[in-house]
Amino acid sequence: MARSLSYISSSQLISIARNPRIAIIDVRDEERNYDAHIAGSHHYASDTFSDRIPSLIDAVKGKDTLVFHCALSQIRGPTCARTLLNYLSETKEGSEIKNVMVLERGFNGWEASGRPVCRCSDIPCKGESS
């Protein structure tokens, strides 16, 4: 099954973020540790992303939509999303994943628009705070 990469704005994401079938994948590197993050997002740093795809697929079991972002979603977010798409097209894994998206303007745009952020240090983030 061919999947393609699409983009989603922060206002579109906030309207669907409570859907339990959506997972947000943060691929920032060490910035995640001193910046805030989107509540409930998974963290798969871009520098080790390829090696951790099997664990990512495991972590998002039951989800059908993955939304990637980095700080600006210009390089790392789309690159990791495409890496995942290539992996999925070459294996039979992750067949539940129907949509792979990139959050426009990344975490920085999300935060600058006044969207809720989480500052917990839980791994993984439980996503309850705002």
Mind telling me the catalytic residues? 70
118 binds Zn ion (CB under 5 A): yes
Give DSSP secondary structure letters for 97-130: --EEEEETTHHHHHHHTT---B----SS------
Q: Which is nearer to Zn ion, 25 or 125 (CB)?
A: 125
101 binds Zn ion (CB under 5 A): no
Q: Which of 120, 123, 128, 130 binds Zn ion (CB under 5 A)?
A: 120
Residue 69, SS3 per DSSP: strand
Minimum distance between the CB of residue 124 and Zn ion, rounded to whole angstroms? 8
117 binds Zn ion (CB under 5 A): no
CA 115, chain centre distance (Å):
16
Stretch that binds Zn ion, among 13-21, 52-60, 102-110, 119-127 (CB under 5 A): 119-127
Between CA 32 and CA 28 the distance in angstroms is 6
72 binds Zn ion (CB under 5 A): no
Q: Which is nearer to Zn ion, 5 or 36 (CB)?
A: 36
Between CA 5 and CA 124 the distance in angstroms is 25
Minimum distance between the CB of residue 117 and Zn ion, rounded to whole angstroms? 8
Between CA 99 and CA 117 the distance in angstroms is 24
Residues at the interface with Zn ion (CB under 5 A): 118, 120, 125
